[in-house]
Chains A and B, each alone.
Chain A
Amino acid sequence: QLQLQESGPGLVKPSETLSLTCTVSGGSISSSSYYWGWIRQPPGKGLEWIGSIYYSGSTYYNPSLKSRVTISVDTSKNQFSLKLSSVTAADTAVYYCARHGGLRGVDYWGQGTLVTVSS
């Protein structure tokens, strides 16, 4: 059974860079036909796609966040990572890592990790 697990600091200071890693187990991140993405959810609000990466390293970002987002992949560790720069309080959210493709949408999700931006 595929599992995804987010890890990283739960508290980030304003103007700094948020960094999270997603570790994939029970399957290979190098599987074709799937993308590996980040989705966030501010407290009490809806879901926002941040960006995704293919195992080859091709990246795709939400235009509204593109200038601040970097997603990378480490196939040797079966991990992919998110960096979001110049964070503000508006970036406080639960961050989910997930697998998605063109057939079924987002079929596997991590449990999510709350990241709070505060001094």
Chain B
Amino acid sequence: DGGITQSPKYLFRKEGQNVTLSCEQNLNHDAMYWYRQDPGQGLRLIYYSQIVNDFQKGDIAEGYSVSREKKESFPLTVTSAQKNPTAFYLCASSWGPAGGTGELFFGEGSRLTVL
């Protein structure tokens, strides 16, 4: 089955720790995205990548980092610099840029809780 796999589904972290969320897709999509979902705020773009070895900051990139070494993979690291990291994180991919003709295909999300 083609799709996007995010792991882990639930993650707990102590303050001051970095944590990495995994996102893998087998849809052969060029573009990949990370969104953060908070109640009442919709989906906010953290980082996106249109091609391997290239990525751009989204609207709320501070305290996050990404890499795109392989087409299939786009991991997100939530660093200790992120002041309010508790949230639901969604990874997505698309054939082309999401603002053009690319439908976004989402994973099932990772819920991060900072204790």
A binds B: no
Chain B residues proximal to chain A, CB less than 8 Å:
none
